[in-house]
Each structure stands twice: as C-alpha cells, then as structure tokens.
Amino acid sequence: MSIMPKGGWEASPRQDYVQLEHRRSYLTCKVCDSGTLTSKSVFRMSGPAVAIGFILLIPSIAGMIFSGLILVGAFSYQGNGSRVTMPVQNASFQSAFDANFRQSCAKSFMQRSAAAGISASLPLAERYCECALSTFKQTSSETIAAHACFDRANDGTLDTLGPGVDDFYSGNTASEGHAGEGDSLFRVIGSVSAVALGVASFVGGLLGWLLVMRKRVLQCDTCGAVVSAS
C-alpha cells in the first residue's frame, strides 16, 4: 500500500513563503545574468553635491541654535543697571516727562521768585516742583498744580523730600524713559536679528538636507550595475 497522499506531496505554505523570500533576497542581475542584486543605501546626489550639502547643513544647525539663544537673551535682557531707585514721593524712577517737568518747573520757580524779589533756595524749588508734579498727575492741570503748590509754599506745608532729590534736578540720574527706550530698542534689534538668522539658517539647512538625502538601490555584486529599489 502506498503512503503517498492522493494528489502527491504538496509544499506547505511555510515552505512556499521561505522559497519566495529566498528568491527575493537573491535577485539575478539582468545586465550580466550572473551577479546577485543586493539592497544598499546611497546618496541621491553626486559627491560634490553631497559635500556642498554638508557644508550648508552643519553651519545652518549651529545658526539656528545661536538664533534661539539670541532670541532668549533679547527677551530676558533686564538692562545694564543704570536705573536708580530714589525715594521721591512714591516715584521709584524718573521718566523723561518727569525729568523735563522738574527742570522746567525749577527754572520757572526761581525766575518767578527773583522777579518778585524773593530769595528762593534750590531745596524750596525742589519741594515746590515735586508738589506741582504730583498735583499735575492727579488733576492734569498745570494751573491748578501751580496755584495749589504756591499756596502750600507760602504756608510752609510742602512735603519734606528724601535724599537724592538733587540728582533729579541736576540731570545726573538716568531717566526711566531713556533706559526703557534703550531696552526696547535692544530687544527689537535682537529679536529681528535672531529671526532673520533663524530663517536664513533654516533655508540653508533645508537645502543641505535635500543634498545629503539617501535612497535605497539594488546593486549587482559582480558588475556593479545599480537599479532603483522603488
């Protein structure tokens, strides 16, 4: 009695799969009809183009990193410490407007006192002008501020000022307005420069990446013929 099954022996599905993969792994070269095609990764461009790609890619990455550092530094910049805190009627800093108001007020007060035949000292002018500045900020009226503070000067009820007020009137104290404008200008220039550098670096890096990209090919191990794997 024969043990061969009806229809003969048939290969199992697993054997068919192994044989198929074996044939796929060793494709015969159609150029030389003897070599075997093997898969490998190669650059898409020629050697000089790849070299240019690396030349563009590496500095571009460094440029994007440097651009990010500049952007962070521009927004975290706190100034050079030129601002000086002075205890003058709750005003920590002197703005450009305050500086002009104080100096104009002191000059006008001294001239008016001299014209009226009154000997006015600089400390009195400073106390008067600080009162006028504070009142003007509350009422937005120079006339009201002048009359109110002039009456207080005659009554001797002007507030006593803290130390360092003379610097406001001598012009030695850096104003907040100029310092703020300088800081803002630095941030704007730094931000624009960082963005411009970042965009240029990104474009250069993208071009470099396109030049150094690789692709999969099939190459014959005998004649060296190359066939696209896609």
The pLDDT tens digits for 78-127 are 554 443 333 334 344 567 788 888 888 888 888 887 887 777 787 888 88
* 91, part of any domain: no
Whether 120 and 152 map to the same domain: the answer is: yes
* 157, part of any domain: yes
* 187, part of any domain: yes
pTM of the model: 0.41
Q: Can you give the pLDDT at residue 90?
A: 39
Alpha helices in 7-121 (DSSP H): 13-25, 47-76, 96-115
Q: Can you give the pLDDT at residue 29?
A: 78
* 229, part of any domain: no
Helix (H, G, I), strand (E, B) or coil at 101: helix
Q: How many domains does the chain have?
A: 2
Whether 151 and 186 map to the same domain: the answer is: no
Whether 53 and 163 map to the same domain: the answer is: no
Question: For the chain, what percent of residues have pLDDT higher than 90?
Answer: 15
Whether 107 and 137 map to the same domain: the answer is: yes
Whether 69 and 104 map to the same domain: the answer is: no
Whether 117 and 143 map to the same domain: the answer is: yes
Whether 49 and 160 map to the same domain: the answer is: no
* 223, part of any domain: no
Domain ends where: 123, 157, 173?
Answer: 173
Q: Can you give the pLDDT at residue 26?
A: 57
Question: Which of 23-27, 108-112, 145-149, 206-210 is predicted least confidently?
Answer: 23-27
Whether 164 and 200 map to the same domain: the answer is: no
* 183, part of any domain: yes
Whether 148 and 107 map to the same domain: the answer is: yes
- Is the pLDDT confidence value at 205 over 70? yes
Neighbours of 175 (CB within 10 A): 21
Q: Can you give the pLDDT at residue 52?
A: 92
Q: Can you give the pLDDT at residue 77?
A: 63
> Using an 8 Å Cβ cutoff, are 83 and 93 in contact?
yes
Whether 102 and 205 map to the same domain: the answer is: no
* 225, part of any domain: no
Domain ends where: 149, 173, 197?
Answer: 173
List pLDDT tens digits, range 149-167. Answer: 888 888 888 887 776 666 6
Angle at 21 between CA 17 and CA 24, to 5 degrees: 140
Kindly indicate the confidence band of residue 65, based on its pLDDT and cuts at 50, 70 and 90: very high
Residues written for the chain:
230
* 38, part of any domain: no
Alpha helices in the chain (DSSP H): 13-25, 47-76, 96-115, 122-139, 142-155, 165-170, 176-211
H or E element, residue 228:
strand 226-228
Whether 114 and 144 map to the same domain: the answer is: yes
Q: Which domain holds residue 190?
A: 44-82+177-213
Whether 165 and 204 map to the same domain: the answer is: no
Measured CA to CA, the distance from residue 61 to residue 155 in angstroms comes to 71
